Amino acid sequence: MPPGIVTENDAGSLVTVYVRLRGLISDEWEEGSPPSTAQWVDRYIEKLPFGIGRTVSADPDTGLSDDPSSWWLFPNQPKISRKHAIIRWNEATQQFCIKCYGSNGADVNGEGSSPFPS
């Protein structure tokens, strides 16, 4: 497993955290800057592999479980597939990887204007 740190989750339990995903959600990115309604969201990855999608579903190929703590869920976002992407730790290369399963694809280090304040 990758290096992590021990911290406290929302339930007050100590957990090992491997990754923090932090960002903004909005359907209005085309305007180039985040709308005032967009809010910062955070998700700490405590379990690997980790799924992003609309619903939980086990994935035997990657070992992803249907435990909700292994998922970041966006149930009301039609642009996100039920199983959209899986983040896993590649032991051989010692790197995190993301694999896309969603029909709308995913961008990593995507080109374009930043939606974040500079």
Partner 1 sequence: MIDTAPTHTFLFSFVLGFLAGIHLASGEECALSSKSTLRIGPLYAYFLLPKISSPSFPVAPHLAPKAKTKLAVPGGYAAVIDSCVSRHFAAFENYFTLLDLAKLAQEDFPGQGLQEDAAALRNQLSRVLTKSPEYDFVPTASVPRYIIDQFEKVHAGAQKGQIKWFVKLDSAGVEKKKQRLAKEDTMEVG
Q: How far is the CB of 58 from partner 1 (least distance, A)?
A: 19
**Contact between 69 and partner 1 (CB under 8 A)?**
no
Cα–Cα distance measured from residue 21 to residue 17, given in angstroms and rounded to the nearest whole number: 11
**Contact between 67 and partner 1 (CB under 8 A)?**
no
Which residue, 40, 41, 57, is CA-closest to 49? 57
**Contact between 36 and partner 1 (CB under 8 A)?**
no
Look up residue 89 and give its DSSP letter.
E
Please identify which residue in 18, 50, 64, 70 interacts with partner 1, judged by CB under 8 A.
18
**Contact between 8 and partner 1 (CB under 8 A)?**
yes
Please identify which residue in 56, 73, 74, 82 interacts with partner 1, judged by CB under 8 A.
74
Angle at 68 between CA 56 and CA 65, to 5 degrees: 65
**Contact between 101 and partner 1 (CB under 8 A)?**
yes
Nearer to partner 1, 57 or 114 (CB): 114
Cα–Cα distance measured from residue 62 to residue 48, given in angstroms and rounded to the nearest whole number: 9
Both ends of the chain: CA-CA distance in Å? 34
Which residue, 79, 72, 71, is CA-closest to 28? 79
Query: Which chain residues interact with partner 1 by CB under 8 A?
Result: 1-8, 10, 14, 16-27, 29, 40-42, 52, 74, 77, 79-80, 84-85, 87, 90, 93, 95-112, 114-118
